[in-house]
């Protein structure tokens, strides 16, 4: 049964130091407001999981929330490097982070296995690459029917999954549309799922291509209008492309990054 | 057509590279496009000679028809204009993995003589000099599309004798590698740079320079390559960009710049 909570109450209820947390949204509906609340509440030693750690994880890494990162592509989309991520990997600043690195195909199959409550997923992938030399969660498995050697990757079951959606209804059913990414898989793979939404409406109007996730698998819904900014929410607002470029400058130097976070995240009020 | 060309030095080496890459694409091809130079070239092809190219972005958009160049593989316009929007799981498992997609279009931070690609680290993995974004969709795109087009700037930094990390397999250690690894796709069939075009030798699978862009010398290409570059004896010269190709390319780039302000 879904609880309707404020964003700060939802994060305080389900996130703990040391937890594995997946904030997902593949290039769209990135749960920035929720991630900022995690930063404000000061959690440490998190294992953060995300296919495309972008600005949000750059911020969380730079603020020292992260012990371990499970990912497949860490870049600023359309712009270039993530400087806080690079500083952590290259110079251990603000702390060393451990990497568990996969490909997109591997990560998404790990979520599928998690959502299916299977121990692992089977795929064709990673063959001939150096990834298996550095990532212990890539193995081979022989098909019992054909003898073909395939790749196995273990299920991801984050303690907390956090996604942003356009709408929830009053029973806590979730509706999201546009690029729907991996949100359904994460919501079903995580032990507890928190969903922030643009708005809570009396009734979800059916929409072509929309994904609906029944409320009874969601732990908490928090209203957070604008909660995906500076990414976008299809039908609500566009991506702030200028900010993605600006971030390249803000994040280059530790001091400027710290000042920006202080002014724009730590001292900002919560969205919910 | 000679009348369609513009004068010498009226385009950059980067523009020549993009135009040459776009010319490799045809209407009807299903093309898995990465962001950056591949997306620019694929959109140039769609706006010029290949209007019916099927653009596929790993965010889940199949048959996207953007009016301007997408900044991110997840731009809303890609979803709005696509024939189908699928989840990321479906994209990789139902569309890429079975070999349904004709062309994978990849960039590289480092490439070796067999077209293997590094986008992970410069230096050692545990203590990298430069940490790059990583694999994304590339390893499985390189393995499973019917063929791979690589677009990369040619310099001793990018064309290296030994990759620091194999992120995506091209032709492995040569000749039969792909078959031994069980790949169904042909791998990199063409590598397009700012200096010219390389193709794998049919016997050895080693990349050979088969084409130079106008006003580029073999010596320049050799100097920009970190191994002893094989030059094909039938070396040809790329047709310079036409006025139309340049105009469309510049319009696409301008539309990107405009969207940063909007």
- DSSP assignment of A127-191: TTSSHHHH-TT-EEEE-TTT--EEEEEEPP--SEEEEEEEEEETT--EEE-SS-TTHHHHHHHSS
Please give the mean pLDDT across all residues of chain A: 96
Is 60 exceeded by the pLDDT of residue A193?
A: yes
Q: Residue B166 and residue A51: Cβ atoms within 8 Å? A: no
Domains and CATH numbers, chain A: 3-102+157-266 (3.40.1080.10)
The verdict on a CB contact (< 8 Å) between A232 and B60 is: no
Mean pLDDT of A231-255: 96
The enclosing domain of B21 has a CATH number of: 3.40.1080.10
Does residue B2 fall inside a structural domain?
no
Separation of alpha carbons A62 and A30, rounded Å: 18
What are the backbone angles phi and psi of residue A209, rounded to the nearest 5°?
75, 5
Q: Decide if A232 contacts A22 (C-beta within 8 A).
A: no
Does pLDDT of A37 surpass 80?
A: yes
Using alpha carbons, select from A236, A233, A220 the residue that is nearest to residue A172.
Answer: A220
B164 domain residue, yes or no: yes
Spatial separation of the C-alpha atoms in residues A251 and A84, rounded to whole Å:
6
Stated length of chain B: 262
Tens-digit pLDDT profile for chain B (262 aa)? 334 445 567 999 999 999 999 999 999 999 999 778 899 999 999 999 999 999 999 999 999 999 888 888 788 889 999 999 999 999 999 999 999 999 999 999 999 999 999 999 999 999 999 999 999 999 999 999 999 999 999 999 999 999 999 999 999 999 888 999 999 899 999 999 999 999 999 999 999 999 999 999 999 999 999 999 999 999 999 999 999 999 999 999 998 888 776 5
Summarised one tens digit per residue, pLDDT across range A98-127 is 999 999 999 999 999 999 999 999 999 999
Q: Is B259 within the bounds of a domain?
A: no
- Let me know if residue B4 belongs to a domain: no
Torsions phi, psi for B101 (to 5 deg): -100, 130
- Find the helix or strand (DSSP H, E) in which B250 lies: helix B243-261
Q: How close is the nearest chain B Cα to the Cα of A56, in Å?
A: 15
Q: Looking at chain A, list the stretches that DSSP marks H as alpha helix, in order from N- to C-terminal side.
A: 7-14, 32-40, 55-62, 83-91, 104-115, 131-134, 183-189, 241-250, 254-261
Any bridge partners for residue A163, and if so which? Answer: A195
Q: Of B8, B15, B24, B58, which one is the catalytic site residue? A: B58
* Residue A78 to residue B92, Cβ atoms within 8 A: no
Supply the pLDDT for residue B9: 72
Q: What is the pLDDT of residue B73?
A: 79
Task: With respect to residue B155, please indicate whether it lies within any of the assigned structural domains.
Answer: yes
In a domain, B217, yes or no: yes
* Pairing outcome for strands B121-123 and B117-118: unpaired
B205: left (phi over 0), alpha (psi -120 to 50) or beta: left
Residue B46 near residue B29 (C-beta atoms within 8 A): no
Query: B73 lies in a domain?
Result: yes
| Residue B7 CA: distances (Å) to CA of A228, A259, B18, B75, B242 | 48, 50, 18, 36, 10
Task: Please tell me the total count of domains within chain B.
Answer: 1
- Give residue B262's pLDDT: 53
Q: What is the pLDDT of residue B1?
A: 37
pLDDT value of residue A5: 98
Work out the burial of residue B163: count CB atoms within 10 Å of its CB; fewer than 13 is exposed, 13-18 middle, 19 or more buried.
Answer: buried
In a domain, B260, yes or no: no
Residue from A70, A109, A179 whose CB has the most chain B CBs within 10 Å, to mutate: A179
ipTM comes to 0.96
Distance CA B49, CA B47 (A): 7
Strand order in the sheet with A120-123: A120-123, A149-154, A139-142
Assess whether B58 carries a catalytic annotation. yes
pLDDT at B8: 61
Sorting pLDDT into bands at 50, 70 and 90, what band is A270?
low
Q: Which of B97, B135, B260 sits opposite A242 (nearest CB)?
A: B260
| B72/A78 Cβ within 8 A | yes
User: How high is the pLDDT of residue A269?
Assistant: 63
Residue A169 near residue A216 (C-beta atoms within 8 A):
no
Domain that holds residue B183: 10-254
Q: How far is B5 from chain A (nearest CA, A)?
A: 31
């Amino acid at each position: 049964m879904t609880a309707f909570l404020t964003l700060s109450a939802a994060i305080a209820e389900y996130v703990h130091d040391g937890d594995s947390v997946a904030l997902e949204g593949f290039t769209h509906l990135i749960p920035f407001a929720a991630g900022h609340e995690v930063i404000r509440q000061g959690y440490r030693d998190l294992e953060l999981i995300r296919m495309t750690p972008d600005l949000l994880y750059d911020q969380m890494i730079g603020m020292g929330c992260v012990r371990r990162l499970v990912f497949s592509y860490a870049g600023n989309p359309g712009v270039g490097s993530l400087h806080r991520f690079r500083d952590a990997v290259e110079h251990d600043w603000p702390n060393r982070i451990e990497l568990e690195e996969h490909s997109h195909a591997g990560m998404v199959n790990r979520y599928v296995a998690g959502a299916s409550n299977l121990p692992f997923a089977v795929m064709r992938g990673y063959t001939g690459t150096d990834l298996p030399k550095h990532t212990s969660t890539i193995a081979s498995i022989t098909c019992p029917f054909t003898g073909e050697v395939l790749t196995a990757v273990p299920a991801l079951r984050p303690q907390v999954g956090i996604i942003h959606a356009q709408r929830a209804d009053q029973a806590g059913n979730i509706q999201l549309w546009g690029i729907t990414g991996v949100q359904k898989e994460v919501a079903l793979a995580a032990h507890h799922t928190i969903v922030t939404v643009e708005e809570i409406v009396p009734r979800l109007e059916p929409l072509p291509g929309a994904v609906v996730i029944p409320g009874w698998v969601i732990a908490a819904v928090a209203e957070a209008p604008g909660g995906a900014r500076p990414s976008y929410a299809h039908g609500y607002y566009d991506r702030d492309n200028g900010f993605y470029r600006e971030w390249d400058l803000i994040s280059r130097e530790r001091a400027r990054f710290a000042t920006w976070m202080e002014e724009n995240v730590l001292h900002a009020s919560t969205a919910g | 057509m000679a009348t369609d060309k513009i004068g010498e030095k009226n385009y950059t080496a980067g523009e020549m590279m993009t135009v040459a890459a776009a010319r490799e694409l045809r209407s009807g091809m299903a093309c898995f496009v990465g962001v950056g130079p591949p997306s620019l070239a694929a959109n140039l092809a769609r706006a010029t000679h290949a209007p019916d190219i099927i653009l596929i972005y790993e965010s889940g958009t199949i048959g996207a028809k953007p009016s301007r160049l997408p900044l991110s593989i997840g731009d809303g316009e890609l979803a709005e204009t696509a024939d189908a929007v699928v989840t990321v799981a479906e994209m990789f498992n139902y569309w890429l993995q079975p070999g349904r997609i004709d062309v994978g279009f990849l960039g590289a931070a480092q490439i070796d003589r067999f077209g293997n690609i590094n986008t992970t680290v410069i230096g050692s993995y545990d203590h990298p000099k430069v940490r790059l974004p990583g694999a994304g969709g590339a390893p499985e795109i390189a393995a499973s599309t019917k063929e791979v087009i690589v677009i990369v700037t040619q310099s001793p930094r990018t064309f290296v004798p030994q990759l620091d990390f194999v992120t995506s397999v091209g032709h492995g250690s040569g000749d039969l590698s792909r078959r031994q690894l069980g790949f169904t796709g042909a791998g990199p069939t063409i590598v397009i740079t700012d200096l010219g075009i390389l193709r794998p030798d049919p016997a050895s699978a080693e990349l050979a320079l088969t084409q130079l862009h106008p006003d580029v010398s073999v010596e320049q290409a050799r100097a920009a390559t970190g191994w002893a570059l094989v030059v094909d004896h039938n070396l040809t010269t790329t047709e310079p960009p036409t006025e139309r190709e340049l105009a469309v390319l510049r319009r696409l780039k301008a539309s990107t710049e405009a969207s940063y302000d909007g």
